[in-house]
Protein backbone atom coordinates (compact mmCIF):
# COMPACT_ATOMS: atom_id res chain seq x y z
CA UNK A 1 0.00 0.00 0.00
CA UNK A 2 1.57 3.30 -1.12
CA UNK A 3 1.28 6.43 0.92
CA UNK A 4 2.08 9.86 -0.33
CA UNK A 5 4.89 11.53 1.54
CA UNK A 6 5.07 15.24 2.21
CA UNK A 7 8.67 15.37 0.93
CA UNK A 8 9.55 17.49 -2.06
CA UNK A 9 9.01 15.92 -5.42
CA UNK A 10 11.14 16.92 -8.40
CA UNK A 11 8.35 19.13 -9.71
CA UNK A 12 7.94 20.94 -6.38
CA UNK A 13 11.69 21.52 -6.12
CA UNK A 14 11.76 23.46 -9.37
CA UNK A 15 8.96 25.71 -8.17
CA UNK A 16 11.01 27.05 -5.24
CA UNK A 17 11.62 30.79 -5.12
CA UNK A 18 15.42 30.55 -5.49
CA UNK A 19 17.22 29.58 -8.65
CA UNK A 20 19.50 26.48 -8.55
CA UNK A 21 22.64 28.61 -8.89
CA UNK A 22 21.77 30.77 -5.89
CA UNK A 23 21.00 27.65 -3.84
CA UNK A 24 24.44 26.14 -4.48
CA UNK A 25 26.30 29.36 -3.69
CA UNK A 26 24.39 30.00 -0.49
CA UNK A 27 24.78 26.41 0.72
CA UNK A 28 28.56 26.57 0.35
CA UNK A 29 28.92 23.34 -1.59
CA UNK A 30 30.69 24.94 -4.54
CA UNK A 31 34.07 26.64 -4.20
CA UNK A 32 32.48 30.01 -4.96
CA UNK A 33 29.90 29.37 -2.23
CA UNK A 34 32.62 28.45 0.24
CA UNK A 35 34.52 31.65 -0.61
CA UNK A 36 31.37 33.70 -0.04
CA UNK A 37 30.62 31.90 3.19
CA UNK A 38 34.10 32.16 4.71
CA UNK A 39 35.62 35.28 3.17
CA UNK A 40 32.72 37.18 1.52
CA UNK A 41 34.61 37.52 -1.80
CA UNK A 42 37.71 36.34 -3.66
CA UNK A 43 39.63 39.52 -2.90
CA UNK A 44 39.49 38.89 0.83
CA UNK A 45 40.54 35.26 0.28
CA UNK A 46 43.49 36.47 -1.81
CA UNK A 47 44.57 38.91 0.89
CA UNK A 48 44.27 36.16 3.55
CA UNK A 49 46.41 33.78 1.44
CA UNK A 50 48.99 36.49 0.73
CA UNK A 51 49.16 37.35 4.44
CA UNK A 52 49.91 33.71 5.27
CA UNK A 53 52.28 33.19 2.32
CA UNK A 54 55.37 34.54 4.04
CA UNK A 55 58.85 33.38 2.99
CA UNK A 56 58.97 31.31 6.20
CA UNK A 57 56.16 29.06 4.88
CA UNK A 58 55.84 29.59 1.16
CA UNK A 59 57.99 28.89 -1.89
CA UNK A 60 56.86 31.50 -4.39
CA UNK A 61 56.30 29.62 -7.65
CA UNK A 62 53.47 31.79 -8.93
CA UNK A 63 53.73 33.26 -12.40
CA UNK A 64 54.69 36.91 -12.19
CA UNK A 65 52.41 37.71 -15.14
CA UNK A 66 49.26 36.10 -13.74
CA UNK A 67 49.67 36.13 -9.97
CA UNK A 68 47.34 34.52 -7.47
CA UNK A 69 44.31 36.41 -8.74
CA UNK A 70 44.02 34.03 -11.71
CA UNK A 71 44.10 30.90 -9.50
CA UNK A 72 40.78 29.10 -9.05
CA UNK A 73 38.73 29.43 -5.88
CA UNK A 74 39.14 25.73 -5.05
CA UNK A 75 42.94 25.95 -5.24
CA UNK A 76 42.99 29.12 -3.17
CA UNK A 77 40.83 27.50 -0.50
CA UNK A 78 43.13 24.45 -0.36
CA UNK A 79 46.18 26.71 -0.23
CA UNK A 80 44.68 28.78 2.58
CA UNK A 81 43.87 25.63 4.55
CA UNK A 82 47.40 24.25 4.06
CA UNK A 83 49.09 27.54 4.99
CA UNK A 84 46.88 27.96 8.07
CA UNK A 85 47.54 24.41 9.24
CA UNK A 86 51.30 24.69 8.71
CA UNK A 87 51.50 28.00 10.55
CA UNK A 88 49.39 26.68 13.42
CA UNK A 89 51.10 23.29 13.84
CA UNK A 90 54.70 24.03 12.88
CA UNK A 91 55.24 27.77 12.52
CA UNK A 92 57.66 27.56 9.59
CA UNK A 93 58.78 25.34 6.71
CA UNK A 94 62.04 24.56 8.48
CA UNK A 95 60.21 23.21 11.53
CA UNK A 96 57.91 21.17 9.27
CA UNK A 97 60.90 19.73 7.42
CA UNK A 98 62.52 18.94 10.77
CA UNK A 99 59.35 17.16 11.87
CA UNK A 100 59.27 15.13 8.65
CA UNK A 101 62.91 14.15 9.14
CA UNK A 102 62.39 13.14 12.76
CA UNK A 103 59.20 11.14 12.10
CA UNK A 104 60.92 9.43 9.16
CA UNK A 105 63.99 8.73 11.36
CA UNK A 106 66.28 10.52 8.92
CA UNK A 107 67.32 13.50 11.03
CA UNK A 108 70.97 13.33 9.98
CA UNK A 109 70.33 13.00 6.24
CA UNK A 110 71.36 16.37 4.80
CA UNK A 111 70.70 15.35 1.19
CA UNK A 112 67.12 14.37 2.00
CA UNK A 113 66.70 17.61 3.94
CA UNK A 114 67.81 19.69 0.95
CA UNK A 115 65.45 17.73 -1.30
CA UNK A 116 62.53 18.34 1.08
CA UNK A 117 63.36 22.05 1.06
CA UNK A 118 62.30 22.16 -2.60
CA UNK A 119 58.93 20.49 -2.00
CA UNK A 120 55.78 22.63 -1.99
CA UNK A 121 54.07 23.11 1.37
CA UNK A 122 51.02 20.87 0.71
CA UNK A 123 53.32 18.03 -0.32
CA UNK A 124 55.33 18.42 2.87
CA UNK A 125 52.14 18.32 4.94
CA UNK A 126 50.95 15.17 3.13
CA UNK A 127 54.34 13.55 3.64
CA UNK A 128 54.28 14.38 7.34
CA UNK A 129 50.76 12.96 7.67
CA UNK A 130 51.62 9.71 5.92
CA UNK A 131 54.85 9.23 7.90
CA UNK A 132 53.03 9.94 11.17
CA UNK A 133 50.31 7.47 10.28
CA UNK A 134 52.76 4.73 9.32
CA UNK A 135 54.85 5.33 12.45
CA UNK A 136 51.73 5.02 14.61
CA UNK A 137 50.73 1.81 12.81
CA UNK A 138 54.14 0.21 13.33
CA UNK A 139 54.24 1.30 16.97
CA UNK A 140 50.84 -0.25 17.68
CA UNK A 141 51.73 -3.63 16.12
CA UNK A 142 52.83 -6.26 18.62
CA UNK A 143 56.40 -7.46 18.37
CA UNK A 144 56.74 -10.76 16.53
CA UNK A 145 59.00 -13.40 18.04
CA UNK A 146 62.36 -13.55 16.29
CA UNK A 147 62.60 -17.34 15.92
CA UNK A 148 59.24 -18.64 14.85
CA UNK A 149 58.77 -22.34 14.17
CA UNK A 150 57.98 -23.10 10.54
CA UNK A 151 54.37 -23.83 9.74
CA UNK A 152 53.72 -27.55 9.26
CA UNK A 153 50.91 -29.58 7.83
CA UNK A 154 49.16 -32.26 9.88
CA UNK A 155 51.15 -34.97 8.16
CA UNK A 156 54.45 -33.19 8.82
CA UNK A 157 53.53 -32.66 12.49
CA UNK A 158 52.75 -36.37 12.89
CA UNK A 159 56.00 -37.31 11.21
CA UNK A 160 57.98 -34.92 13.43
CA UNK A 161 56.24 -36.21 16.56
CA UNK A 162 56.99 -39.82 15.55
CA UNK A 163 60.64 -38.93 14.89
CA UNK A 164 60.92 -37.25 18.32
CA UNK A 165 59.61 -40.39 20.07
CA UNK A 166 62.08 -42.70 18.35
Compare 69 and 118 and report the one with higher pLDDT: 118
Residue-wise pLDDT tens digits, 85-106: 999 999 999 999 999 999 988 8
Q: What is the mean pLDDT of residues 133-139?
A: 85
Residue 47's CB is within 10 A of a number of other CB atoms, namely 12
Long-range contacts of 88-91 (CB under 8 A, 24+ apart): 91/56
pLDDT at position 26 over 80: no
Cα angle: 25, vertex 68, 118; to 5 degrees: 120
Answering whether pTM is above 0.85, one says: no
**What burial class does residue 77 get, using C-beta atoms within 10 Å of its C-beta: 0-12 exposed, 13-18 middle, 19+ buried?**
middle
Q: What is the mean pLDDT of residues 130-153?
A: 76
Amino acid sequence: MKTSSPSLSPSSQSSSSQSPSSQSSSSGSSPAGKVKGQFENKGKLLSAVQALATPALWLDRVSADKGLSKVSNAKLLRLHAALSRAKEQFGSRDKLIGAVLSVGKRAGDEGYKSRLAGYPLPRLLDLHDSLTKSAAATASKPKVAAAKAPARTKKAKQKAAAGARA
